[in-house]
Amino acid sequence: MIAASAAGPQPRWQVLWRTAVTDAGALLRELGLAHLAASLPEQDAGFPLRVPPGFVARMRRGDPRDPLLLQVLPQLVEGDVPPGALLDPVGDAAARAAPGVIHKYHGRALLIASGACAVHCRYCFRRHFPYERETAAAGRWQVAVDWLRAHPDIDEVILSGGDPLSLSTGRLAELTDALRGLPQVRRLRIHSRLPVVLPERVDESLCRWLADLPWPVALVLHANHANELDDTVGAACTRLKAANAHLLNQSVLLRGVNATVEALTALSTRLFSVGVLPYYLHQLDPVQGAMHFAVDDAHARALVEALRQRLPGYLVPRLVREEPGAPSKTALGPP
């Protein structure tokens, strides 16, 4: 196997990757919020702060309620374990079909392509996921590909993680080269937060890889707030579209971050202005450490109903929840 770094100098995004802010005190100082450092939790619950400087640059200075800061800053309330908080809230363990392969829904299989993320999101439903054991990368593509070959009814392969675009383009190409040998594959889907948090990842080599794929590609971005989508992200979306990717977005409904009609309206309209359609708005998965972000169902439904009244239908995301064992995401209808 050829490591991508052997092919030449390291791509710029990999250099930037290593400049991520990992010290909460330093982050607060940079934002003019040094006085808040005393209220940081002592333990990071095994899920340390991590955020690229380009994302920090989009945070408002001096605002402890900034919606981007709240997505990444460890909080004392994460130590609370309210009833109903789970380690594996979406039943991933029960849906594991092979190492790194999760199969829940008809025709689609999800590959845990990587355990790494450029940003650590405090609401992450896989924050307790056993990535060391359950990753399809690291020379283990073959197991996933063999499983797919034995399941010809799967016509859509979904690359997830972690963040699949944290893999080098060479690694991604190894996987898609192997998938080319499977006649059943009709669509490739990629779920990634990288084009938003580290838009430099969308470089020439990634775009060439995308454009050369033999299947239509859906790229699902994960942005939760309009402020995440600055011009650097807009330019990355333009490059992705030029490489023929269909751009969708999924968000998580997060108390204190985006759970207002104004924030959700701004997110949808900003997404469209950079060429992205809203897809899902997820109710938070009840994962230990993130329950303080939860929004109750009645409020969630009312928010989406209000969106329906002020936006064109194509800018209203589908409000869903993931229920372990269900045959699809579960839609939450109007109030």
The residue within the footprint of ligand SF4, chosen from 88, 134, 163, 200 (CB under 6 A), is 163
Shortest distance, position 328 Cβ to ligand PLP, whole Å:
6
The residue within the footprint of ligand PLP, chosen from 104, 120, 270, 292 (CB under 6 A), is 104
Tell me the HSE value of 284 on the side-chain side, using a 13 A CA sphere.
30
Shortest distance, position 329 Cβ to ligand PLP, whole Å:
5
What is the distance between the alpha carbons of residues 147 and 232, in angstroms, rounded to a whole number?
Answer: 38
Interface with ligand SF4 (CB under 6 A), residue total 11
Q: Tell me the window of 28-36, 59-67, 102-110, 259-267 that interacts with ligand PLP (CB under 6 A).
A: 102-110
The residue within the footprint of ligand PLP, chosen from 96, 108, 149, 187 (CB under 6 A), is 108
Identity of the residue, 96 or 239, whose beta carbon is nearer to ligand PLP in the bound complex: 96
The residue within the footprint of ligand PLP, chosen from 105, 131, 215, 272 (CB under 6 A), is 105
Question: If binding is defined by CB under 6 A, does position 128 make contact with ligand SF4?
Answer: no
Residue for token pair 């789970």: 86
Question: If binding is defined by CB under 6 A, does position 104 make contact with ligand SF4?
Answer: no
Provide the greatest CA pair distance for the chain.
Answer: 59
Phi, psi of 112 (to 5 degrees): -80, 90
What is the distance between the alpha carbons of residues 265 and 269, in angstroms, rounded to a whole number?
Answer: 6
Identity of the residue, 43 or 142, whose beta carbon is nearer to ligand SF4 in the bound complex: 43
Site string for ligand PLP, 150-189 (x = CB under 6 A): --------x-------------------------------
What is the distance between the alpha carbons of residues 196 and 188, in angstroms, rounded to a whole number?
Answer: 20
The residue within the footprint of ligand SF4, chosen from 11, 54, 100, 161 (CB under 6 A), is 161
Nearest CA to 176 among 121, 129, 217?
Answer: 217
CB 49 within 8 A of CB 73: yes
The residue within the footprint of ligand SF4, chosen from 68, 90, 110, 117 (CB under 6 A), is 117
Nearest CA to 164 among 121, 120, 118, 196?
Answer: 118
Site string for ligand SF4, 204-223 (x = CB under 6 A): ------------------x-
CA 210 to chain centre: 18
The tokens for 171 are 């690694």
Shortest distance, position 268 Cβ to ligand PLP, whole Å:
18
Shortest distance, position 204 Cβ to ligand PLP, whole Å:
29
Residues 6+ apart with CB under 8 A from 187: 155, 156, 157, 215, 216, 217, 218
Nearest CA to 197 among 57, 63, 33, 30?
Answer: 57
Question: If binding is defined by CB under 6 A, does position 228 make contact with ligand SF4?
Answer: no
Q: Where are the beta strands (DSSP E) in 165-275?
A: 187-192, 217-221, 245-252
Question: If binding is defined by CB under 6 A, does position 110 make contact with ligand PLP?
Answer: yes
Question: If binding is defined by CB under 6 A, does position 121 make contact with ligand SF4?
Answer: yes
CA 123 to chain centre: 11
Question: If binding is defined by CB under 6 A, does position 193 make contact with ligand SF4?
Answer: yes
The tokens for 127 are 């924050």
Q: Which residues bind ligand SF4 (CB under 6 A)?
A: 117, 119-121, 124, 126, 161-163, 193, 222
